[in-house]
Amino acid sequence: MLPMFEPSVHSSRRKALLSSLAAGDDPSLRNGLLVFPGNRESPMNYPDNAYRFRQDSSFLYFFALAEPDLAATVDLATGESTLYADELTEDMLVWTGPRPSVREQADSAGVERVSPRDRLAADCAGRRLLYLPPYRAETAAELAALAGTDPGAVASGASMPLVRAAIALREIKEDREIGRIERAVDISIDMHLEVVRAARAGMTEAELMAAAYRVALAGGGMPSFPPIATTRGAVLHNHGYGNTLADGGMFLLDAGAETDDGYAGDLTSTFPIGGRYDDRQRAVYGIVLEAGRAAVSAIRPGVPYREAHFAAARAIATGLAGLGLMKGDPEEAVAAGAHALFFPHGLGHQMGLDVHDMEGLGELLVGYDGEPRSTQFGLKSLRMAKPVKPGMVLTVEPGIYFIEGLIERWKAAGKFAQFIEYGELDGWKGLGGFRNEEDWLVTGSGARRLGKPFDKSVAAMEAFRLP
């Protein structure tokens, strides 16, 4: 990964973090030590065979450096930051090549002090440690050792003031970050165009997966998450790639690129394998597009993202009533949760250095400001519900799915029979899954779609295909 921004960007972010913590009324924080363990290499099947290294996103945000085995602290008493890292050894020089000195690395992140990596424990001794919740076992183990607690108790010992302050900073994207995210979205669009153009009956999902990967890798980074590339879009997180494409079916691609400096894109396209949507596919796809438009028109500063989700859900209930698959008042159907038979997930999530941005810091804080989350089927899967602010980046990804097993269960139970036309639905069960996902920036007055033009209309999706 490339270094991120100029050193002052990262030192300003740490200053903002410090002033946010100082503004709190907890006096014990003033003598605390913020500890940020960077990620280590993660082996696949033996120590030297590691997954591609990915730095922790909060470490990238505050300290810029994308090497493994680093740690950093910020001393709340002095305001000073320290980078804990080891100098290049002869072996590393041979196997991984030269790299900047520890001092040069610290300078590139605006960090005042440097110290050998193994001094971290001594410097933490006797201090009140504040850290973000770990999501990797080795990080939890190190934090447990530093804090003198059990690894199982480490996550619950994470500092809530620190978590809240980090979320408040990271969720408002700086203009310079928007530029990087747009680059990720542009590469993501190219991944999708490549797959839409190449898809043909007889190919395997794996071949299209490879096409998407090729574009992401050629863009300098990687996919931002394991793509969903499937002929069976009604299985929401389908990570197998063994099916063969057949004419008449739909293909669903949910894939995005991560740039070489760590920013994510995340898009979903659903298109007909044979090149033309049939009448039913066109109708359902059109409702999904309309749901996206309805959602976007509800995105405004101060308005809870839950409202955009409901706008999409109402458009889906209204559209499906037009096809004879739902009935009754769409507003009531959505309030009851009947639409979730077709749209069982949430409208979207924040996106930035993580494709589900900051989810490791706690989805309830990131998406709900810590407020309780609904337990209703469908609504419980909404990741982001709180009021949006200018500078937030969000995915908008409504979908309609014909999940045969779920339809059969609900029908047998007579569930929401006042809103769902089960008799008519029987003839639609094999239609599969449709989702359209775009990435949007909240502006001062509404929202702006990120990335270069990518027309998702029926006519455009049919025209992208190569002859």
Residue 361 DSSP SS3:
helix
**Number of neighbours of residue 392 by Cβ within 10 angstroms:** 24
Give whichever of 191 and 420 is closer to Mn ion, judged by the CB atom: 191
Give whichever of 14 and 386 is closer to Mn ion, judged by the CB atom: 386
User: What's the one-letter identity of residue 349?
Assistant: H
Give CA separation, 18 vs 112, 116, 162, 382, 423, in Å.
15, 24, 9, 32, 61
Question: Which of these segments, 145-153, 283-291, 391-399, 451-459, binds Mn ion (CB under 5 A)?
Answer: 391-399
CB 142, min distance to Mn ion, A: 31
CB 143, min distance to Mn ion, A: 29
Q: Say if residues 221 and 259 touch (Cβ distance below 8 Å).
A: yes
Q: Which residue in 11, 395, 416, 434 binds Mn ion (CB under 5 A)?
A: 395
Give whichever of 108 and 395 is closer to Mn ion, judged by the CB atom: 395
Cross-sheet strand order for the sheet of 71-75 = 113-115, 81-84, 71-75, 32-37, 128-130
CB 357, min distance to Mn ion, A: 11
CB 383, min distance to Mn ion, A: 9
Give whichever of 123 and 354 is closer to Mn ion, judged by the CB atom: 354
Give whichever of 261 and 397 is closer to Mn ion, judged by the CB atom: 397
Give whichever of 264 and 325 is closer to Mn ion, judged by the CB atom: 264
Give whichever of 59 and 305 is closer to Mn ion, judged by the CB atom: 305
Handedness of CA 156, 159, 163, 166 (dihedral sign): negative
Distance CA 181, CA 264 (A): 6
Q: Say if residues 83 and 107 touch (Cβ distance below 8 Å).
A: no
CB 45, min distance to Mn ion, A: 29
Count each helix (H run) and each strand (E run) in the chain, helices first: 17, 17
Residue with tokens 């007889």: 202
CB 236, min distance to Mn ion, A: 11
Applying the rule CB under 5 A, the residues between 52 and 91 that interact with Mn ion are: none
Q: Say if residues 360 and 354 touch (Cβ distance below 8 Å).
A: yes
Q: Say if residues 308 and 298 touch (Cβ distance below 8 Å).
A: yes
Q: Per-residue string for binding with Mn ion, 247-276, x by CB under 5 A? A: -------------------x----------
CB 266, min distance to Mn ion, A: 4
Give whichever of 142 and 397 is closer to Mn ion, judged by the CB atom: 397
Give CA separation, 365 vs 111, 121, 159, 192, in Å.
29, 30, 13, 32
Give CA separation, 120 vs 34, 169, 353, in Å.
12, 26, 26
CB 254, min distance to Mn ion, A: 7
Distance CA 245, CA 51 (A): 30
Residue 204 — φ and ψ, nearest 5°?
Answer: -95, 160
CB 451, min distance to Mn ion, A: 14
Give whichever of 72 and 267 is closer to Mn ion, judged by the CB atom: 267
Question: Which of these segments, 79-87, 143-151, 298-306, 387-395, binds Mn ion (CB under 5 A)?
Answer: 387-395
User: 52: buried, middle or exposed (CB in 10 Å: 19+, 13-18, 0-12)?
Assistant: exposed
Total binding residues for Mn ion by CB under 5 A?
2
Give whichever of 231 and 395 is closer to Mn ion, judged by the CB atom: 395
Look up residue 302 and give its DSSP letter.
T
CB 437, min distance to Mn ion, A: 5
Applying the rule CB under 5 A, the residues between 132 and 171 that interact with Mn ion are: none
Give whichever of 113 and 293 is closer to Mn ion, judged by the CB atom: 293
Residue 339 C-alpha from the chain's centroid: 24
CB 395, min distance to Mn ion, A: 4
Q: Which stretch of DSSP H or E encloses residue 44? A: strand 43-46
Q: Say if residues 38 and 143 touch (Cβ distance below 8 Å).
A: no
Distance CA 242, CA 231 (A): 10
Distance CA 129, CA 322 (A): 58
Give whichever of 355 and 425 is closer to Mn ion, judged by the CB atom: 355
Question: Which of these segments, 76-84, 115-123, 369-377, 394-402, binds Mn ion (CB under 5 A)?
Answer: 394-402
CB 67, min distance to Mn ion, A: 29
For binding to Mn ion (CB under 5 A), which residues are involved?
A: 266, 395
